[in-house]
Structure formats: C-alpha cells, structure tokens
Amino acid sequence: MEYSWIEITVAALFLTAAITLWISRGSGWLSWRFWRNAMVVSSLVMSGILLWLTVDTVNKVRPGAGRVPPWTVINHEIGLQWDPERRWEVPVIGKETGFFGKVYSPQEAYALINKGKLTIQSRNCMECHTLLGNGAYFAPDLTRSWLDPWWKERIMPIVGAKTREAAMKAWLINPPQYPQGKRIMPNLGLTDEELTAVVAFLKWMSAINTNGFPPYFGQKGRTGGR
Ligand code: HEC
C-alpha cells in the first residue's frame, strides 16, 4: 500500500492532536501542561514516522526491490520507456540475452558488479564523471551510459563490435584512440577483467529507476560534458 506525503502529514497531525488531548484531559489548552505534552507527543510521533520512512526507503533501494534492479539484470536486455503519467522514462527489463555470451548467477553477477564498483572507485572516475548525479561535471553522466544510443550508432561501427558491451569495452580500453568530442578521456589502463566488470556495473546502474534522472536522456542522448 502506497501513501502520499499529504496523507502521512495529515495522519501525523491528527495522531499528535488526539494523543495530546487524551493525555492532557482535565487541563485547559492554554495550560503549561497541555503544551508540554503536545511537544513531547509531536516529537515522538515524528520520530516514529522518520524511522518508518527510513526503513521503507532502505527496503526500496535494495537490489531486486522495486527501484533498484537485481544483480542478474546484466543478463537481460534493458530499455527505457516513456511513462505518460509520471512524464519521465522508466527502465524496462527485457528478455534474457546473457552478458558477453554468459548467463551469470546472482552470486557471480554480484561479484562482477562489485568488482566494477571497486574499479571505478580505484580510478576515481567521479573526478570527471557523475554517477546518479554525484561527482564532477567535466564528462558525461554515466548513470544511463549503457543505454546511450551512441554506442550502437557510432562506436559499434568504428570498433567493429557486434554487441553494446563489446563496443563499450573496446572504446574504454583506449578512449583517446577514438575521441568523440572536444574533451578526451585519458587511457586509465584498465585490464580486460576490470573492463568487463566496469561495463557490468554500468549496465546494472542503467536499470535503476531514478525518477527520470538524467532528464531528457532519451531525447538528447549523451548528457553533459561536451
Ligand atoms: C580525466 C577525466 C576522466 C576520467 C578520470 C574518466 N573519464 Fe570517462 N570520459 C571522460 C571524457 C572527457 C569523456 C567523453 C570522451 C569523448 O567524447 O571522446 C568520457 C566518456 C566516458 C564514457 C562514454 C560516456 C557516454 O555515454 O557517452 C564512459 C562509459 C566513460 N567515460 C567511463 C569512464 C570510467 C568507467 C572511468 C573510470 C575508470 C572514467 N570514465 C574516467 C573523462 C574522464
């Protein structure tokens, strides 16, 4: 069951007023006791709601729960679909195609994506890029990079790759070889294994439901940094 902020706010105010009135029976509303009770009750009710919202959010952002895809999403086709009601694009997970020709188990997929995350941290990619909007604004945001039409339209023909993951890997192995804009990404000396892991991490990240971030991705293609 989903509650909106207005229902939660009205319920919290109602609960605070009801409990305060009940425990302050016999005192007038102008008395010191009434307002002390109101202060204590509202703090307790709001702390309870904060706790509930925190648990609710943590559950929703866990991989496999609602907004964040399971690790095994790397085995699937991923696309974006316009949601007319919310007016932003939501990721859609399609049929199983495997990742570099292999279907990863949940444990294997987790290990690979985690290695990708550690590789990205070790090279400080966020010194130039943003991930989910965090980082620096020198180079394109990488949240949806996997879904960038650019891989298929430009990079696959240039590097002679048959799949999107192969194109990404072939480009990332030496970015200055095929510069695409005014700013050039340095060669960070990633190994073959590290590259596969980085591509897996970026594929997984592209399937996160980010409430439409980055905006207009589908229309504009690459975002930022050019
Ligand atoms: C010194 C700055 C810098 C660092 C550090 C850097 N990049 Fe880049 N990256 C760029 C620039 C600039 C571009 C655009 C290059 C172009 O157009 O030729 C780019 C482009 C990309 C793209 C293509 C994005 C798209 O969808 O168009 C990917 C993927 C990428 N970088 C991944 C990484 C990863 C992974 C790391 C860390 C291992 C990293 N980058 C570190 C500067 C950087």
Q: Helix or strand or coil: residue 111?
A: helix
**Token pair listed for 185:** 């990404």
Per-residue pLDDT, 225: 41
Average pLDDT over residues 198-225: 80
Average pLDDT over residues 211-225: 66
Q: Which of 107, 100, 172 lies closest to 142, judged by CA?
A: 172
Q: What is the CATH number of domain 71-220?
A: 1.10.760.10
- Cα gap 138→4, rounded to integer Å: 37
- Residue 195, ligand 1, Cβ within 6 A: no
Centroid of ligand 1 to alpha carbon of 74 (angstroms): 21
In testing the pocket of ligand 1, which one of 115, 121, 125, 148 has its CB within 8 Å of the most ligand atoms? 125
For 100-153, write each residue's pLDDT tens digit: 999 999 999 999 999 999 999 999 999 999 999 999 999 999 999 999 988 999
What is the chain's Cα-based Rg? 24
- Cα gap 34→46, rounded to integer Å: 18
- Residue 127, ligand 1, Cβ within 6 A: yes
Q: Are 37 and 23 spatial neighbours (Cβ–Cβ below 8 Å)?
A: yes
Dihedral sign, CA of 103, 144, 150, 116?
negative
Centroid of ligand 1 to alpha carbon of 59 (angstroms): 32
Which residues on adjacent β-strands are paired with residue 135? 130
Average pLDDT over residues 36-55: 96
For 211-223, give one letter per residue: b (16+ CB within 10 A) or e.
Answer: ebbbeebbeeebb
Tell the residue nearest (CA) to atom 33 of ligand 1.
125
Per-domain residue ranges for the chain?
5-60, 71-220
For 52-96, write each residue's pLDDT tens digit: 999 998 988 899 987 899 999 999 999 999 999 988 889 999 999
**Token pair listed for 87:** 């007016």
Tell the residue nearest (CA) to atom 7 of ligand 1.
185
- Residue 113, ligand 1, Cβ within 6 A: no
